[in-house]
Amino acid sequence: MKSHLRKFSTYRLDASLKSIIEKSYGTAVTGVGVHECDYIKRKFSRKYNATICASQKWVADLARCYGILYDVFSKYCEGEKLISDAGFNFIVAALFYFINPFDVIPDHMADIGYYDDLYVLQICLGHLSYTDYVHIQMRFTERQNACSE
């Protein structure tokens, strides 16, 4: 999945913007709780449905990647804990950032509105343990194979 994300965009976030995004994401990771999980459960479908139909292919692909994280999140919430607690927190923070309308680069900004969401997804995947990442990668591969059949 990481290599797939690298080809989404050629836009480069500058160091100061990356730092702001990293701090925002880091704060979200440490603040994960029931309220954030409930918010994600209520809001994810609407955000996903809006972005999966984006005219820019990379934004629709980004939504698909977040959809995989949401599937893992949902299973974890249902008691099927296929990832670690720490991995769950990283995923919750990324999902919360994705659906929150008040992120660093507003999503409605033409061409660049989802670059911060892409960067957060990359940060999230980079923080996952090897085992957690392998589980996410397997889901990603399963979905890719299902789409090509």
In the structure, what pLDDT confidence band is assigned to residue 13 with cuts at 50, 70 and 90? confident
Q: Is residue 16, in this structure, part of any structural domain at all?
A: no
- In the chain, pLDDT over 90 holds for what percent of residues? 63
- The structural domain count of the chain equals 1
Q: Is residue 68, in this structure, part of any structural domain at all?
A: yes
Distance (Å, whole) CA 134 – CA 131: 5
pLDDT at 99: 95
Q: Is residue 4, in this structure, part of any structural domain at all?
A: no
Q: Is residue 66, in this structure, part of any structural domain at all?
A: yes
Q: What is the mean pLDDT of the chain?
A: 88
Half-sphere exposure of 55 (CA within 13 A, CB side): 3
Q: Is residue 74, in this structure, part of any structural domain at all?
A: yes
Contacts of 112 (CB under 8 A, 6+ apart): 11, 105
Q: Which is nearest to 121 in space by CA: 142, 135, 136?
A: 136
Which of 24-38, 74-88, 100-114, 120-134 is the least confident region?
100-114
Q: Which is nearest to 50 in space by CA: 119, 121, 107?
A: 107
Overall residue count recorded for the chain in this entry: 149
Average pLDDT, integer, range 96-112: 85
Q: Is residue 20, in this structure, part of any structural domain at all?
A: no
Q: Is residue 138, in this structure, part of any structural domain at all?
A: yes
Continuous segment of H or E residues that includes residue 52: helix 34-52
Is the pLDDT at 1 greater than 70? The verdict is no
Q: Is residue 48, in this structure, part of any structural domain at all?
A: yes
In the structure, what pLDDT confidence band is assigned to residue 9 with cuts at 50, 70 and 90? low
User: What's the pLDDT tens digit per position in 44-100?
Assistant: 999 999 999 988 888 899 999 999 999 999 999 999 998 999 999 999 999 999 998
CA distances to 20, 56, 98, 140 from 114, rounded to whole Å, are: 15, 11, 9, 20
Higher pLDDT, 48 or 4: 48
By residue range, what is the domain housing residue 41?
27-148
